[in-house]
Chain A
Amino acid sequence: MSTGTRLLSLHGISKEFYGNVVLEDISFDLDRGQIIGLVGENGAGKTTLMRILFGMPVIAETGGFNGTIELDGQPVAFKTPFDALDAGIGMVHQEFSLIPGFSTTENIALNRESLKPNFACDIFGKRMSVLDRVTMRERAVKAIHTLGVKLDPDMLVSEMPVGHKQFTEIAREIDRKNVKLLVLDEPTAVLTETEAEVLLSSMRALAAQGISIIFISHRLHEITKVADKIVVLRDGKIVKDVPVAGVSVQDIAAWMVGRDVKTKAAHLSVCKDSVYLNVEHLWVDMPGETVRDVSFQVMEGEIFGIGGLAGQGKLGIANGVMGLFPAGGQVTVGGQDVTLNNPHAALNSDIAFVSEDRRGVGLLLDESLEWNIAFTAMQAKRQHLIPVLGGLFSVRDEKSMKALALEYIESLEIRCTGPRQRAKELSGGNQQKICLAKAFALKPKLLFVSEPTRGIDVGAKAIVLETLRAYNRDYGMTIVMISSELEELRSICHRVAIVDEGKIAGILPPTADVAQFGLLMSGLGAGKNGDAA
């Protein structure tokens, strides 16, 4: 609970990258023991703001920032994250920074281990002292207890479920002696709902002990549940700074995107009776997402959803059909067999794929948007080329590449400085739109989209889903959408299949009861009857 004394004040923080203003005149205050919910679309400037607060070197490298930060009434300007740590600011990132081969205790006390001096210290100094494992364990247990979670202090991180890893990270931050402020960047993104509940109650417990928290999350209902006040960022400006009492999730969503978010699906298109995609006994050897024996059919013009828990093989299906991982079985598209294990053949069968691994597979981060959007069409379809010497060879047609990029930048509302900007400078949501543009540029008849909304904000999500729906409706594009978010699948798909242990556990209409989906996911589905719709 807020105690009324001021801990942190930001005054007029501004920051620009390469002439792009990403933050403008940001000011807000944080009291001791207060929890601030910081929300905003991807690219709204949340991460940049936290980097400034934490003294990340990237800020100084790109020209520093304007404005002042006051901690405990003293102006501060951290040069490195270490300064910020010393001042009592702890940060938990979205990606884990834990050592897998170390136990919970060792990770919590990392680099701050309790030490036991021995005779060698007298000669060689403190560096020769050994670890005081008993005290370390006590410290770890205390930190875990403060969090109010159940965590085995001796378990190896590599053997933990994701949720426990997240708790270990937080425990490490609160083990610090003088911690006053915790920054949690999307801590619940990887957690199940129950785990998230536990985390939220630990946050409350921490706040009650006088630790202030800046909580960044895309799950807005969590914000309304746990935060004392909410700060909404949009396009680098604060659009709302209000106490959370009486604010609804819809309000926040509307503030974030600055327009009404459609919560309910538009009506579905009508799909034809003919089978377009036929998958029989597909197996895919994709590490962590093994597909064992999957058979299903997708109608022409249908949006077919594939859901299921992580690691059960739903991602493997698309990657296998596209030839990115070793696969076997029978896949026919529009009556034609698709050669497996050959990405080129898959693309030539009028299939396109938007990968779940946006930065790893989906983009050429160091190249321009033109390249990113036009490259696949150039390689697979021989488009955007000018023949030279009567077709002896052909060189790339930069004009048509630019035109293509501009077309999609406009139609998908991609926020960028122009088609020459490099892909890595865009925010997550805009990068996802580039990936979609790349797939659309192939003019595919069948589109696989894998986790299209992972890690992107509400506004971009709505645009992505609406775009998929529009392509399905207007061009009759058959879409297979793979997602971890069941609600999303139910809002857009004609039918939803649930994958469990590398097999299809069942196929349900989107109107089916949530409980039924839940049963299929947990492997308790009544009948594995394949096509229930």
Chain B
Amino acid sequence: MSSIKTFITDFGWPRIIIALFLLSLFVAAPIVGVDLGASIGDVLNRFGQNAIMVLALVPMVQSGCGLNFGLPIGILAGLLGSTITMQLGLTGLTGLLVAILITIVFGVIFGYLYGKLLNNVKGEEMTIAMYVGFSAVMLFSILWLVLPFNKADLVMGYAGEGLRRSIALEDYWGKLLNNFGQFSIGGTPIPTGLLLFVGLCVFFVYVFMRTRTGTAMTAVGSNPDFARASGVSVERMRTVSTVVSTVLGGIGILAYQQSFGWVQVYDAPLFMAFPAVSALLIGGASVTKASMVNVVLGTFLFQGILTMTPSVINNVLKNELSEVIRIIVTNGMIIYALTRKTKVAK
């Protein structure tokens, strides 16, 4: 009995409730006539699409910069990476690798500047980050119009300049990772390449957080004065964490795009931070501590609910309640986590 109790306190009630809810959706799916195999495939696919963006939040949480509501800045780096590569006409694996490379370059530059800014607003990072993210997206909305893109399938048809709202990736590297080594188990397609790529990124961050730098970063988040007295530059660690987070955000959107099949510019990155933050928090992270388990579990639970509710609930209720549920879950989780600042589930 007591071991069950400890398990519940360790795991946290919210996660248990959400997991049970998700389980009940899976159980209900075949009853209301939803194809379970396809649904699970969907969940896996959306997990792969979003996990890296959730992962991108971890370094900044650990270094005490809070939840990176400025994730759109990294996403913009990713958008620059993919659009420039497409403009250059590179396709397939080469295209994707070049896109990643360009993303890293822009991610480092943006992240460095963004980190410098955050160092000047210690204690208010999350609020400032949100506005910085919004502003950057709007600034880029202008840039997408005026940057000299001129490839026919990128620009708006009638004007001949300015990027389209959505650009098809099909002829470039769309579904490249998804299709790599894909196989099916009982009608459930497994996006092997995508999951491997996510696994690689998770492993990278896991190892990174265990390096000397990663350890210093965690200590900075835990007690900046202690870290400083141990000879660690607090500002530098915070900047490094912001750079890593921004670069990962960019790579995250590349993974998302190739699976989704479209590059979306203009205001599309605006609200990308919220689902990621919410997923991390559902995973049991707090504002000051986050682990790889939080990332994987949280993304799975969050995307699971997002995928399953439309198909199941809509089939039952015959209305569009799913979007409402999605918004309540996303924002409710953020509020919940911000009110409990210290306690972390393992």
A interface residue numbers (CB < 8 A to B)? 322, 324, 343-344, 346-348, 353, 355, 357, 360-367, 371, 375-376, 378-380, 382, 385, 388, 393-396
Q: Which residue of A lies closest to B206 (CB)?
A: A395
CB <8 Å contact, A363 and B223: yes
Cα of A348 to Cα of B210 in the assembled complex, Å: 23
CB <8 Å contact, B230 and A395: no
Chain B interface mostly: helix
Given that A343-B231, A364-B219, A367-B219 are known contacts, is A395 also in contact with B211, CB under 8 Å in the complex?
Answer: yes
- Output the least CB separation between A362 and chain B (Å): 7
Q: List 23 A-B contacts (CB under 8 A).
A: A322-B229, A343-B230, A343-B231, A346-B231, A348-B231, A360-B225, A361-B223, A361-B225, A361-B229, A362-B226, A364-B222, A364-B226, A366-B223, A371-B219, A375-B215, A375-B219, A376-B229, A378-B212, A380-B230, A382-B212, A385-B212, A394-B211, A395-B210
Interfacial chain B residues near A362, Cβ < 8 Å: 226, 229
Q: Which 4 A-B pairs have the closest CB atoms?
A: A344-B231, A376-B230, A395-B210, A361-B225
CB <8 Å contact, B211 and A343: no
- Output the least CB separation between A125 and chain B (Å): 32
Given A361-B225, A379-B215, A394-B211, 16 new contacts (CB under 8 A)? A343-B228, A343-B229, A357-B225, A361-B229, A363-B223, A363-B226, A367-B219, A371-B215, A375-B226, A379-B230, A380-B230, A393-B212, A395-B210, A396-B210, A396-B211, A396-B215
Number of A-B contacts (CB under 8 A): 76
Interface residues of B, count at CB 8 A: 22
Cα of A363 to Cα of B230 in the assembled complex, Å: 11
Cα of A393 to Cα of B209 in the assembled complex, Å: 12
Within 8 A of A (CB), among B205-221: 207, 210-212, 215-216, 218-219
Interfacial chain B residues near A376, Cβ < 8 Å: 229-231
Cα of A322 to Cα of B288 in the assembled complex, Å: 28
Interfacial chain B residues near A375, Cβ < 8 Å: 215, 219, 226, 230
Cα of A329 to Cα of B223 in the assembled complex, Å: 29
Cα of A395 to Cα of B222 in the assembled complex, Å: 19
CB <8 Å contact, A379 and B211: no
CB <8 Å contact, A364 and B228: no
CB <8 Å contact, A379 and B207: no
- Output the least CB separation between A345 and chain B (Å): 8
Cα of A367 to Cα of B64 in the assembled complex, Å: 14
Interfacial chain A residues near B225, Cβ < 8 Å: 357, 360-361
Interfacial chain B residues near A395, Cβ < 8 Å: 207, 210-211
CB <8 Å contact, B229 and A379: no
Question: Which of B212, B218, B229 gathers most chain A CB within 10 Å?
Answer: B229
Cα of A367 to Cα of B207 in the assembled complex, Å: 19
Q: Which residue of B lies closest to A442 (CB)?
A: B230
Cα of A376 to Cα of B215 in the assembled complex, Å: 11
In the complex, whether B232 has a CB less than 8 A from a CB of chain A is: yes
Interfacial chain A residues near B227, Cβ < 8 Å: 379
